[in-house]
Amino acid sequence: MSAYSELKEECYAANLLLPEYKLIELAFGNVSVSDPRHGVFAIRPGNVDHKALRPDQMLVVDFDGQVIHGSLRPSADTATHQRLFQAFPDIRSIVHTHSRNAVAFAQAGRPIPCFGTTHADYFCGEIPVTRPISPEEVQNSYDHEIGNVIVERFKDLDPHKVKAVLVHGHAPFVWGSSGTEAVENAFALEVIAEIALKTLEVNSGASPIQQSLVDRHYQRKHGETV
């Protein structure tokens, strides 16, 4: 049995949740799960359909981006996940999807306002959007640079309270304390993105709820002192 069997099993199980939660179409989407103590993470390989996926196919990559276990080609998203694990070492799992409603906000370059308590139960404030990635960054190490613009956006934000970001013109990245929680957060993001779009249809001038109400619901859900 591989030393990374448990890590790969958790990653495999979390990736299977993406189609179950209807968060992906075709091959868009990936979940990674890290072992911060050893500075490694497991991630789904590229071009392997979720229906054909097996636990032993998960790749193990170190925080410097080197594949240390597995023979398949890494996902194109690997460098982004690696950069986020470097920057946010307390995060155990990262989910990248192209779920439709969240992508709509990303493509519009707009954050998702916290219009109500459904949103606040999962995210302590609006879902931020990054700046557009520059042509130079696209030509450089593109997937690594995606991670850099996310890290830049979180310079003054707490990734433990806002566990999601929209990459401008691209798609969301979401995280959590386990593969299962990260996928749940990605599902919650898609739900609140849909609700936000409908809110704006009903009232294009809708305002976010007050921060005291956001804090109350977030703290109540997450067991912090109220």
**pLDDT range class, residue 29, cuts 50, 70, 90:** confident
C-alpha Rg value of the chain to the nearest Å: 17
pLDDT in tens, 115-134: 999 999 999 999 999 999 99
pLDDT at site 47 = 73
Q: Is the pLDDT of residue 224 over 70?
A: no
Mean pLDDT (the chain) is: 92
Which comes out higher in pLDDT, residue 65 or 197? 197
Quick: pLDDT tens for 58-101: 899 999 989 998 878 888 899 999 999 999 989 999 999 999 99
Q: What is the pLDDT of residue 226?
A: 42
Handedness of CA 66, 85, 72, 141 (dihedral sign): negative
DSSP state of 51: G
For 56, 89, 183, the CA distances from 12, given in Å and listed in that order, are 9, 21, 12
2 pLDDT tier (thresholds 50, 70, 90) = low
* pLDDT at residue 50 tops 80: no
Separation CA 175–CA 128 (nearest Å): 14
Average pLDDT over residues 174-189: 96
Cβ-based neighbours of 56, under 8 Å, separated by 6 or more:
2, 8
